[in-house]
Amino acid sequence: MAAAQYRAALPVIRTRRLVLRAPTLDDLPVWTSICKESFGDTEQDAWTEFSYYTSGWLLHGHGLFTVSLKDDDQVIGFVILGLEWDDHEPELGYMFGSKFRMQGYATEACSAVRDFGFDLLGTGRFVSYVSQSNTRSNALAQRLGATRDAVAESAIGPTQHVWRYGEVQA
């Protein structure tokens, strides 16, 4: 009961096809499935990451969004505006189940969370860290209007691109 009351205070974002909301324990099986499929994570790894990312709401005022289809409430993926333990600044990231990729859902959901991030943090205040070999995620960052931040990239190494949303800080 108390968890539902606290969760009700967190933002819900509605787009043309999607609803983005705070995660619940009912979302954990989908999270675990995507983590196993995409990263080879164990159930324990998935639980640890799920707990960590959902705690972002309490620790930072932003965190993990569960993404569901507006028409039937089916959970299809997750978008985060959050901090991992070693991040230098908040990151916009995402993961979707394989049958929901290549349909524009990531673009739609990440656009909404990007705008939420602008309202909450301001332009230029969050990034996406993307492996240089991940062509689809690099293309998505470009579609979302992000620009590469060479200064931030030089601090983390040659295999990662840092995409900044809004103004690039010198």
- Digit-by-digit pLDDT tens for the chain (170 residues) are 677 777 778 899 999 999 999 999 999 999 999 999 989 999 999 999 999 999 999 888 999 999 999 999 999 999 999 988 778 789 999 999 999 999 999 999 999 999 999 999 988 899 999 999 999 999 999 999 999 999 999 988 889 999 999 865 44
Contacts of 118 (CB under 8 A, 6+ apart): 165, 166
The whole-angstrom separation of Cα 71 and Cα 33 is 22
For domain 2-124, the question of CATH label 3.40.630.30 is answered with yes
The single residue listed with the structure tokens 């089916």 is 74
Alpha-carbon dihedral sign for residues 148, 166, 144, 131: positive
Domain boundaries, the chain: 2-124
